[in-house]
């Protein structure tokens, strides 16, 4: 099964895509099994990256069925074949379940069809069944070729020339049931569909004081049910991996009536379609409804979401994930040798990795085996660190112990929002408050940022006060950009008056600066010698110490949705280029990642200086593009990317230079990027990272109580964030040297490595560093690592 060997070290010298050539290679790309949103983005990335490196890329229509049938099902793709598919759900090359491929005769026919076109590299996008099929095919390849030669179908020369088949898999499945990857392509989009329905149902349920039982997909995997329960604060969730204990019927009814008694007007129960009890008997949504009606007499409705979850446009996260995976898959095929085992390109934390396909499939099958044998704890553990973490946090946040069972810490912990509002802040506050109460602390809410702190706008906040907060945008506590520097005396006074023992700050760059000011004031005010931690929450994603901030995913989805609509308008009028200005201050994250997710032709950012020659070359590039069948353009510009090359300037330059070839329009997205309901990612991320911050506070308080010391060391004032694969608490004092204070951005930003990717997919030459790609890594047993970041 999973090996314990450490990952092979990365190459110490940079390796660039230019060192790899696809010349003479032929790559076949197919989608197989159930469809998932984002598959088209993966197909687009494989086709364009393949063509970019000089390989021939073939569409294999209708999955393995098309491979067996051959003929017009295997067609060479060109650059324009994958235009305008990024925003389309499902898969444009079709998918089918194929019985013939399960037989040796079927695979023999498939091999013959591939050899005719010289295809010896396969990129398979599908679930574990599809990937297992590909691996069997790869192992049999040389035998199949010998048999074809024996039957006179191919020459001995062809057997030598095409002697081995390389296979790289990408997991496209809304179920997120594949071990080895944190997120499969399509999962985030399915969560978007579920949350849209849940948010809509909550309003009607509230009006009528109803109970809703929602059934979500996922086959034998409870990931969708669990994360949607976490993201909407459901009262109860039924999962196949973690069945309810004996006597659950009574426990659930008690919980529902307690919530009603706390003036909660609705109950939400989420059921995974494969939900079972501890004896492996199915638990259906109808059974739950009947139970609630007969036991409690509540007005109860069942909603089965069904195939809605597979449909619709892919989310920004899925488009970026699929584009990254598609490019990585082509690089893996270029680097493959006859001895390279079949691999899966997957996501670990925020890093693309290659894992052995056989090990991943084995681990995935082990989960099902554990469930069949009723070893449910093993099933949860094998599902992975992300699943286990989600389940533990859901239990802590959903079920409040009676007050007499909570051991009091006699500590007061305050929570404050600082800076501009960001979607997901409220989910973070709810999570912090509930975890704090469960840990025995008295939780205090500070209203209106540091300004409200100085004025004493502080009051205790209870468990039910934060009910229903996860799905609300903005900041319910109120937030301001004011820094604490001017009010240190007043804030210290309020901390004394309310006996505040620890502080959690949720906010953006102002929160980071505020934390630095409070840290520096510890010598003068002993009230600040307490544990303080900051959770990054800003649409700009510019806080040092974290790859992601709460709110940036929601903003990215707003940008992507708007760009989709604008592209549609442009393709209707033809020969039109749109210039779109995004927020972010000096940080180009939204412009760059929005460009990657929306399929933009260019994105101007502060981090990569540009001049008039670059603008000129972009205009020429668009002029060439207008000669093809894709007669539209999309250019993103970060609001502060250049003092002189403003959005107006670029618009006027493009309008003048493009005269007679294309016309221009501009659009400033503005504050709509800060608004809206939080995306599932931001709800989930805000909930998990804030819960982790509270656990850290509890540990620090216990340490300082046991030693009887004040917190004066640097490690008492930290920023909590995700860095590559790890969750890290970094002392704010150490992050100072990594910060460009003038421009309010970190000196090094991970996403800049993805910038060439956007350019390559838009048909520009770019130097792409592939040093981080590399050798196969073992599938890590989940419990052996430090503190992994799971998204």
Residue 320 CA to residue 393 CA, distance in Å, equals 27
**Residue 192 marked in a binding site:** no
**Residue 547 marked in a binding site:** no
Q: What is the largest CA-CA distance in the chain?
A: 91
**Residue 621 marked in a binding site:** no
Q: Are 137 and 165 a contacting pair, CB within 8 Å?
A: yes
Q: Looking at residue 122, what DSSP letter applies? A: E
Q: How far is CA 764 from CA 16, 620, 641, in A?
A: 16, 12, 20
3-state secondary structure (DSSP) of residue 74: strand
**Residue 138 marked in a binding site:** no
**Active-site residue identified among 175, 188, 439, 682:** 175
**Residue 673 marked in a binding site:** yes
Instruction: Name residue, tokens 């062809």.
Output: 158
Q: Are 118 and 110 a contacting pair, CB within 8 Å?
A: no
**Residue 538 marked in a binding site:** yes
**Residue 217 marked in a binding site:** yes
**Residue 310 marked in a binding site:** yes
Q: How far is CA 50 from CA 26, 122, 323, in A?
A: 9, 12, 13
Per this entry, what is the length of the chain?
791
**Residue 210 marked in a binding site:** yes
The closest alpha carbon to 687, from 360, 227, 278, belongs to 227
Tell me the sheet residues that pair with 353.
346
3-state secondary structure (DSSP) of residue 410: coil
**Residue 475 marked in a binding site:** no
Spatial strand order in the sheet of 602-604: 602-604, 632-638, 576-582, 663-668
Task: Report residue 243: phi and psi, to 5°.
Answer: -65, 155
**Residue 127 marked in a binding site:** yes
175 catalytic per annotation: yes
Q: Are 480 and 418 a contacting pair, CB within 8 Å?
A: yes
CA angle 497, 503, 506 (to 5 degrees): 130
Residue 598 CA to residue 136 CA, distance in Å, equals 36
Residue 138 CA to residue 569 CA, distance in Å, equals 45
Q: How many CA atoms lie within 13 A of 791 on its CB side?
A: 27
**Residue 218 marked in a binding site:** yes
SS (H, E, C) 204-262: HHHHHCCEEEEEECCCCCCHHHHHHHHHHCCCEEECCCCCCCCCHHHHHHHHHHHHHHC
Pairing of strands 717-723, 726-731: antiparallel
Sorted by sequence, the CB contacts under 8 Å of residue 137 that are 6+ apart come out as: 101, 107, 110, 111, 122, 165, 167
**Residue 15 marked in a binding site:** no
**Residue 540 marked in a binding site:** yes
Residue 601 CA to residue 68 CA, distance in Å, equals 37
Radius of gyration from C-alpha coordinates of the chain? 27
The closest alpha carbon to 186, from 28, 313, 46, 75, belongs to 313
CA angle 126, 363, 725 (to 5 degrees): 80
Residue 675 CA to residue 672 CA, distance in Å, equals 5
3-state secondary structure (DSSP) of residue 167: strand
**Residue 718 marked in a binding site:** no
**Residue 542 marked in a binding site:** yes
**Residue 481 marked in a binding site:** yes
**Residue 129 marked in a binding site:** yes
* CA 243 from centre of chain: 27
**Residue 674 marked in a binding site:** yes
**Residue 219 marked in a binding site:** yes
Give the residue ranges of the annotated binding site for beta-D-fructose 2,6-bisphosphate.
Answer: 481, 538-542, 576, 583-585, 639, 665, 671-674, 744
Give the residue ranges of the annotated binding site for Mg(2+).
Answer: 128
Give the residue ranges of the annotated binding site for substrate.
Answer: 173-175, 210, 217-219, 273, 301, 307-310
Report, as residue numbers or ranges, the catalytic residues: 175
Give the residue ranges of the annotated binding site.
Answer: 34, 97-98, 127-130, 173-175, 210, 217-219, 273, 301, 307-310, 481, 538-542, 576, 583-585, 639, 665, 671-674, 744
């Amino acid at each position: 099964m999973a090996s314990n060997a450490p990952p092979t070290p990365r190459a110490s010298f940079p390796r660039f895509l230019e060192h790899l050539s696809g010349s003479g290679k032929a790559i076949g790309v197919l989608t197989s099994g159930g469809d998932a949103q984002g598959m088209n983005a993966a197909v687009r990335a494989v086709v364009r990256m393949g063509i970019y490196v000089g390989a021939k890329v073939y569409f294999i229509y209708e999955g393995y069925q098309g491979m067996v049938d051959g003929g017009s099902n295997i067609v060479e793709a060109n650059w324009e074949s994958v235009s305008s598919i990024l925003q389309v759900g499902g898969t444009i090359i079709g998918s089918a379940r194929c019985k013939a491929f399960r037989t040796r005769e079927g695979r023999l026919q498939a091999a013959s069809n591939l050899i005719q076109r010289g295809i010896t590299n396969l990129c398979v996008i599908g679930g574990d069944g599809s990937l297992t099929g590909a691996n069997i095919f790869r192992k049999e390849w040389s035998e199949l070729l010998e048999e074809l030669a024996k039957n006179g179908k191919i020459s001995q020369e062809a057997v030598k020339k095409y002697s081995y088949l390389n296979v790289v898999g990408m997991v496209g499945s809304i179920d997120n049931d594949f071990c080895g990857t944190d997120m499969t392509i399509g999962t985030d989009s399915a969560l978007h569909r579920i949350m849209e329905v849940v948010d809509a149902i909550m309003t009607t349920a509230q009006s009528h004081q109803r109970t809703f039982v929602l059934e979500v997909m996922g086959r034998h995997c409870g990931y969708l049910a669990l994360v949607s329960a976490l993201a909407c604060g459901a009262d109860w969730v039924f999962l196949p991996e973690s069945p309810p204990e004996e006597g659950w019927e009574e426990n659930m009814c008690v919980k529902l009536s307690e919530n009603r008694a706390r003036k909660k007007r609705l109950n939400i129960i989420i059921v995974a379609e494969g939900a079972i009890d501890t004896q492996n008997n199915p638990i259906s949504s109808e059974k739950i409804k009947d139970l609630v009606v007969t036991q409690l007499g509540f007005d109860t409705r069942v909603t089965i979401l069904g195939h809605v979850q597979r449909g619709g446009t892919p989310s920004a996260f899925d488009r970026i994930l699929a584009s990254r995976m598609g490019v990585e898959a082509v690089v893996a095929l270029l680097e493959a040798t006859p001895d390279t085992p079949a691999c899966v390109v997957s996501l670990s934390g925020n890093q693309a990795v290659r894992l052995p396909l056989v090990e991943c499939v084995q681990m995935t099958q082990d989960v099902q085996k554990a469930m069949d044998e009723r070893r449910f704890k093993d099933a949860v553990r094998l599902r992975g660190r992300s699943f286990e973490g989600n389940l533990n946090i859901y239990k802590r946040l959903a079920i409040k112990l009676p007050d007499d069972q909570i051991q009091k810490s006699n500590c007061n912990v305050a929570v404050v929002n600082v800076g501009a509002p960001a979607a997901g802040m409220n989910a973070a506050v709810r999570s912090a408050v509930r975890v704090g109460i469960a840990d025995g602390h008295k939780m205090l809410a500070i209203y209106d940022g540091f300004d409200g702190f100085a004025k004493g706008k502080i009051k205790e906040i209870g468990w039910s006060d934060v009910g229903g907060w996860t799905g609300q945008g903005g900041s319910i506590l109120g937030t301001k950009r004011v820094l604490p520097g001017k009010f240190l005396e007043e804030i210290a006074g309020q901390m004394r008056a309310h006996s505040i023992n620890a502080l959690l700050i949720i906010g953006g760059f102002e929160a980071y600066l505020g934390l630095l000011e409070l840290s520096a004031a510890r010598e003068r005010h002993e009230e600040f010698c307490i544990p303080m931690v900051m959770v990054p929450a800003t649409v700009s994603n510019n806080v040092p110490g974290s790859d992601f901030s709460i709110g940036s995913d929601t903003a990215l989805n707003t940008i992507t949705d708007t760009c989709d609509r604008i592209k549609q308008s442009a393709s209707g009028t033809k020969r039109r280029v749109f210039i779109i200005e995004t927020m972010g201050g000096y940080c180009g994250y939204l412009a760059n990642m929005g460009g990657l997710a929306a399929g933009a032709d260019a994105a101007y950012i502060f981090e990569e200086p540009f001049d008039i020659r670059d603008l000129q070359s972009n205009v020429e590039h668009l002029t060439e593009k207008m000669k093809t069948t894709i007669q539209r353009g999309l250019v993103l510009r970060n609001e502060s990317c250049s003092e002189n090359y403003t959005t107006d300037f670029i618009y006027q330059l493009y309008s003048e230079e493009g005269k007679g070839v294309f016309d221009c329009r501009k659009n400033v997205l503005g504050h709509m990027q800060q608004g809206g309901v939080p995306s599932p990612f931001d709800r989930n991320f805000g909930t998990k990272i804030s819960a982790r911050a509270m656990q850290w506070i509890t540990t620090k308080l216990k340490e300082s109580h046991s030693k009887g010391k004040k917190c004066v060391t640097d490690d008492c004032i930290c920023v909590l964030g995700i860095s590559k694969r790890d969750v890290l608490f970094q002392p704010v004092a150490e992050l100072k040297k990594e910060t460009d204070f003038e421009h309010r951005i970190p000196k090094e930003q991970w996403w800049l490595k993805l910038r060439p990717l956007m350019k390559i997919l838009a048909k520009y030459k770019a130097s792409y560093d592939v040093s981080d790609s590399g050798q196969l890594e073992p599938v890590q047993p989940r419990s052996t690592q430090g503190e992994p970041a799971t998204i």
